[in-house]
Amino acid sequence: FSVGYSAVAVNHVIDFKEKKQEIIKPVSPSELFPSLPVVQGTSKRIKVLTRLTLVISDPSHCNLLRSTSPNIRLYDIIAVFPKTEKLFHIACTTLDVDLVCINVTEKLPFYFRRPPVNVAIDRGIYFELLYTPAIKDSTMRRYTISNAISLMQICKGKNIVVSSAAERPLELRGPYDVANLGLLFGLSEGEAKAAVSTNCRAAMLHGETRKSACGIVYTLKKPRKVEEEETLPACKKAKTQA
């Protein structure tokens, strides 16, 4: 909590291939943290989100997401990890999720195609890249960079979220360090910063929209450019233009 993040997500992973699993209610943050720590440099408490990640390797696994399970609606963020090209296409075009996870630990068994990626971007779905495997093993670092660059060639750096999936504190990195890693993934400087800030907030708001079945609107004050013409009276503007 001292690296500068204002929000974290506690991830609950379900892999249907391992064994039959059911979606349970998310663990309340108050059960994990009796007293939430303060964000570094502020007086605000850190925000703890609940996240559900479904590893799908068969089309039948998608039926659980299409069902109206009451426990699914309790999670702040829903992510899906498709294992095949067909499932990736389904996740991008039809599933009601917030994140689509990209495999970074091995070579992708398929190529990214522009149509499903564009549909996902239009639907407000974000693609997640993990950086922890890249700092743990040289082989996985090669796969991470290779798969990330393949995705960037299609999505052009849009709708990317870079997260940790850290299981230990030593695997965490600060936002600026993660943004620098994003440059290795093929992101520009602005896109890398967005991948650890504004894009994460947008994915969270997308989750709120999904939970409430309504639209979420937030305003952002746009800085006004002061032009030289605005300082002139109207009569002088007319003479200048004439």
Over residues 89-131, the pLDDT tens digits come to 999 998 888 999 998 888 888 888 999 999 999 999 999 998 8
| Domain presence at residue 92 | yes
Instruction: Tell which residue, 90, 16, 21, has the closest CA to residue 57.
Output: 16
One-letter identity of residue 235: C
Q: What domain range is 44 assigned to?
A: 7-211
| Domain presence at residue 150 | yes
| DSSP H/E element including 54 | strand 47-56
pLDDT at res. 240: 47
| Domain presence at residue 147 | yes
Q: How far apart are CA 154 and CA 112, in angstroms?
A: 7
C-alpha dihedral, 157 to 14 to 55 to 58, nearest 10°: -150
Angle between helices 85-93 and 114-122 (to 10 degrees): 30
| Domain presence at residue 139 | yes
| Domain presence at residue 178 | yes
- Average pLDDT over the chain, rounded to whole? 80
β-pairing verdict for 47-56 and 77-82: parallel
| Domain presence at residue 25 | yes
pLDDT per position as a tens digit, 56-71: 888 877 777 765 567 8
Given a contact cutoff of 8 angstroms between Cβ atoms, the answer to whether 60 and 88 are in contact is: no
Q: How far apart are CA 134 and CA 147, in angstroms?
A: 12
- pLDDT exceeding 70 applies to what percent of the chain? 80
| Domain presence at residue 206 | yes
What CATH number corresponds to the domain at position 43? 3.20.20.140
pLDDT at res. 152: 92
Instruction: Tell which residue, 135, 118, 136, has the closest CA to residue 127.
Output: 118
Given a contact cutoff of 8 angstroms between Cβ atoms, the answer to whether 230 and 217 are in contact is: no
Q: How many domains does the chain have?
A: 1
| Domain presence at residue 149 | yes
